[in-house]
Amino acid sequence: MALETEGIPCKLLGEFDRGVGLMPWLPVRVAILNDEDLERAQAIVARLQPRTPPPPSWRWQKRGLLLLGLDLFLLGALAARLDAYRNDREGSVLVLYALAAVVLLVFITGVLFVVLGPRADKAAKGTP
């Protein structure tokens, strides 16, 4: 409707494919009938899209997910060191315990960041 009010002729493609509102995640496709109007239509559609910043919880949860990804790498390193220790008895047991402690600490910290992240949304809204 916004495009047609600006004088840009267009058609909706697959407007009945959305399942009468049961599948709102399907994108709406618009065909611009004149190629000369394409840039102007893209500018209008870009203006209509909401520009909302990510919630404050995303900063915490993103760090938590990064820590959990790092933890997978550290867990692989721990498994490799444990395998080398079991097979050849090379290396120190103290190194294995230290690496296991780091893996556990990074895991707990990552989970806490992910789980406690939504509390930042409450603080941003002003509710305790």
Residues 47-66 pLDDT 10s:
887 778 888 888 899 999 99
Percentage of the chain lying above the pLDDT 90 cut: 30
Model pLDDT for residues 7-37, shown as the tens digit of each residue: 888 888 776 665 555 666 667 788 888 889 8
CA separation for the pair 23, 118 (Å, rounded): 27
pTM of the model: 0.57
The mean per-residue pLDDT over the stretch 88-110 comes to 90
Element (H, E) at 101: helix 93-116
